[in-house]
A and B are shown apart, each in its own frame.
Chain A
Amino acid sequence: MRLLNLFKIAFKAIVLNKMRTLLTMLGIIIGVASVIAMLAIGEGSKESIRTNISSMGSNIITIRPASASSSGVRASADEMQTLTLKDYEAVKDQATFLSYATPLVTGKGQVINGSNNWPSSIYGVNPDYLKIKVVDLQSGSMFTDAEVKTASKVALIGQTVVDNVFPDGQDPIGQMIRFNNIPFKVIGVLEVKGENTFGQDQDDVVIAPYTTVQKRILAIDYINQIMASAVSEDDAPNAVTEVSEIMRIQHQISNPNKDDFSVQSMEELISTFSSTSEMLTVLLVAVASISLLIGGIGIMNIMYVSVKERTKEIGLRMAVGGKGSDILMQFLIEAILISVSGGALGVLLGLTSTVFIEKFLNWPTSVAMYSIVISFAVCAVTGIFFGWYPARKASALDPITALRYE
């Protein structure tokens, strides 16, 4: 009852000063809206990184050569020749947490079909590669283990390569292309995957048996990478440990600090990137919070003015029997009303701008429910916090002094 009356008084004061209230709210509105939008952008990019990386195969494990951290000059991983087919076979035979594995050799070169040519990369792998990367074929079929054994000159190509070397819309299956002057018969086209998180075009690729790439194109007998997939995403950490141990035995390394290889799971990659974007989110939210703080100070400022301006009114209310606590509550409710309705408008603005950001800037966004709840709670607290002091001051006034105030 009493509270309802005080609420009515506070509400009336706000309505009587519409413009001023709105301007006061503006700080809070902008603050809340930017917190929500920033969090949405942060969450969105985190989520898109996660789905993007997951789409590349979330249980992928890669084994690369690496220079032991204690050794002097670091060679680039591609130039290192420490990874061999023997390693691959050991890993494949001994690891229990892996379902598939393939050696990987890569090279760059020119794809040529008649007068059309296109610079691309070639990946030498075994047939398991498609299962590891979770890639399907649009048409044609994968090469077989037999074709790997015989180092057949067959290849699968991605859509970007198709578009550039078969511009006439010709069916590439069965056609001959040349990669660095070595003829390959196209036996399949990979499904379209688009760009990955790192902006790499995943369709700009030629896939061929690793034996063929090793012998005909690169003329090497080592391999660049071993790519494998863990039995499940949960088993990825176990697989990493297991593979590392196998590799250490293979390379006769007793001290893990002297590893000449690195084993990495996609999970680790995801968390690396997530933490980067998390930092970004924290930064964005910090900036947004500052504007919320400024909004709060705006409320405090206007409540101060309001208390000063209405000192006579306060005196009168006290003279007719208003208690200090009534006055305190009245001004506190007023501050909370301003901040909470500002918060509500801010949430609305935040959601709308998130939609706009998604639509027109094409940034991935994801509005987290918690961001709405938190900014709303922060608003209420801001109202109480910044309204308290002026309200407290008003309630401590002496009735007669307040009445005489000019």
Chain B
Amino acid sequence: MSKEIIKIEDITRDFTMGAERVRALRGISFTINEGEFVTIMGSSGSGKSTLLNILGCLDQPTSGLYEIDGIKVKNLSRNELATIRNEKIGFIFQSYNLLARTSALENVELPLIYNSKISTEERRERAIKALKMVGLEDRMDHTPSQLSGGQQQRVAIARSLVNNPVMILADEATGNLDTRTAYEIMSIFQDLNEQGITIAFVTHEEDIATFSSRTIVLKDGNIIQDYKNENVQSAEEELAKLPKENH
């Protein structure tokens, strides 16, 4: 029915370290349609980050085909890849990767600096709006060292939203957060997803997966499960059910 935003066919990714070869991905195929909310699960070292980096055009597969929005990634130049990352993708890293000694606001503005179509004023407005969405409007001038882990994570989320991406790729975006904050963030993602943004979300936690519409499970670089979630939970409702003591 809706169009394919991601299509991978028989993707492999090998890392050669001296004589040794690590086969992080061993032939993976799937498609993600526009508007899907996919969680990617699997044990540590199963290749989740490797896969996400390839989907985010940060890394290239050793073999196989990758199409994003109908464009064959393999044929793109470094600059074209940069433009895709800049305009189509919001990426949230496993480690937050914020610029040190730089305010939250400037961190969020970062992707827009590399988009010459956006003026300084618009850049600022959009960054403020994104920070509001993650509830950090009163922390805009704080540098990463003045923010808690969860707040840093939310700055990273705001940064991924600021360029109005068609697709958000999140690598353990809730990994370091307590349940409440994790649910808050999941509800942000659900909102974004309702607005039509495609989301691929890497996580370890089963309960987080229940908020998504589809789950792909990796093991040793292969897909072992790929199923639709019939009973999608609302993060907002789950949040309401949590005991209020820690607030």
Contacts and interface: CB of A to CB of B under 8 A. Distances in A.
B111 A320 contact: yes
6 contacts: A317-B110, A320-B85, A320-B159, A321-B86, A399-B58, A400-B53
B232 interface: no
A156 B107 CA distance: 87
A350 B78 CA distance: 46
A258 interface: no
Q: Which of A315, A316, A319, A400 has the most CB of B within 10 A?
A: A319
Interface string B49-60: 000010010110
Q: Which of A5, A324, A325 has the most CB of B within 10 A?
A: A5
A28 to B, nearest CB: 25
Interface in A295-344: 312-313, 315-326
A331 to B, nearest CB: 15
B97 A403 contact: yes
B116 A316 contact: no
Given A9-B113, A326-B114, A400-B53, A320 B86 contact: yes
Interface in B140-166: 159, 163
Given A322-B86, A403-B58, 15 more contacts: A1-B116, A315-B97, A316-B99, A318-B82, A320-B114, A321-B114, A322-B114, A323-B78, A323-B82, A324-B78, A324-B79, A324-B82, A399-B58, A403-B93, A403-B97
B59 A321 contact: no
B101 interface: yes
Contact of A321 (B93, B97, B115): B115
B225 interface: no
Nearest to A324: B78
A322 B159 CA distance: 14
Contacts of A326: 114
B97 A2 contact: no
B184 interface: no
A326 B86 CA distance: 13
List the 9 closest A-B pairs by CB distance, nearest first: A321-B86, A320-B111, A321-B114, A323-B82, A400-B59, A400-B58, A2-B116, A5-B113, A321-B85
Contacts of B119: 1
B31 to A, nearest CB: 23
A150 to B, nearest CB: 96
Interface residues of A, number: 22
Interface of A: 1-2, 5, 9, 16, 312-313, 315-326, 399-400, 403
B87 interface: yes
Contacts, number: 62
A323 B113 CA distance: 11
Interface size range on B against A:
20 to 34
Contacts of B97: 312, 315-316, 319, 403
B37 interface: no
A319 B116 contact: no
A324 B115 CA distance: 14
A318 B91 CA distance: 12
Nearest to B113: A5
Interface in B40-72: 53, 56, 58-59
Nearest to B85: A321
Interface string B87-114: 1000101000101010000000011011
A325 B116 CA distance: 14
B87 to A, nearest CB: 7
B83 interface: yes
Given A313-B99, A318-B82, A403-B93, A323 B114 contact: yes
Contact of A323 (B59, B79, B91): B79
Contacts of B110: 316-317, 320
Nearest to B110: A320
A5 B113 CA distance: 7
A326 B99 CA distance: 17
Contacts of B59: 399-400
A321 B83 contact: yes
B111 A321 contact: yes
Contacts of A9: 113
A325 B83 CA distance: 12
A331 B85 CA distance: 21
A323 B79 CA distance: 6
Contacts of A2: 114, 116
